[in-house]
Chains A and B, each alone.
Chain A
Amino acid sequence: MSVRAATIVLVSAFVLVVHAQQPPRDAPHPTTGSGSIRGRVVAADTGDALRKARIMASAEGARVDPVFSDADGRFQFVNLPAGRYVLSAAKAGFATTKYGARRTLEQPIAIDVADRAAVDGVDIRMPRGGVITGRVVDDLGDPMMLVNVTAGRLVRTGGRARVVTAGSSMTDDLGEYRISGLTAGSYIVSTPGMAMVLGAGVSSASAPVFYPGGASLTQAQPVAVHAGDEVPSIDFTLTPQRMPRLSVTVTDANAAPVSGLVFITQLARTSFGPIDTMQSFGIEGGGPTTIPQRPGDWIFIAQGTQGSAIVPLVVGSDDASLNLVLSKGGRLSGDVVFEGANAAPAGQVVLESVIADLPADFRAAAVVGDMKRDRTFEMTTLAGPREFRLRTAPPGWVLKSLTVQGRSLLDGPVEFKGGENLTGVQAVLTNRRSPLSGTVIDRDKAPVRVYSLLVFPEDRTLLRNPSRWIRWVRPDQNGRFLVDDLLPGDYLAIALDDVDEAEWLNADYLERMRLRATRVTLGTGEPQTITLEIASTP
Chain B
Amino acid sequence: MSSTTERPDRGSQTEAPAVPPAPSRLKDVLRQLIATRRVIIGFAMLAGLALLAFLGPVISPWGITERDYLATLDGPSPEHWFGTNRTGQDIFTQSAAGLQKSLLIGLLVAMISTAVAALVGAFAGYFGGLTDRALMWVADLALVLPSFVILAILSKHFMGASGWLILVVLLAGLSWMVTSKMVRGMTISLREREYIHAARFMGVPPRKIILRHILPNMSSLLIADATIMVSTAIIGETALSYFGLGVQPPDITLGIVIADGANFATTAPWMFLFPTALLVLLVLAVNMIGDGLRDALDPTSKSRRS
A binds B: no
B interface residue numbers (CB < 8 A to A)? none
A interface residue numbers (CB < 8 A to B)? none
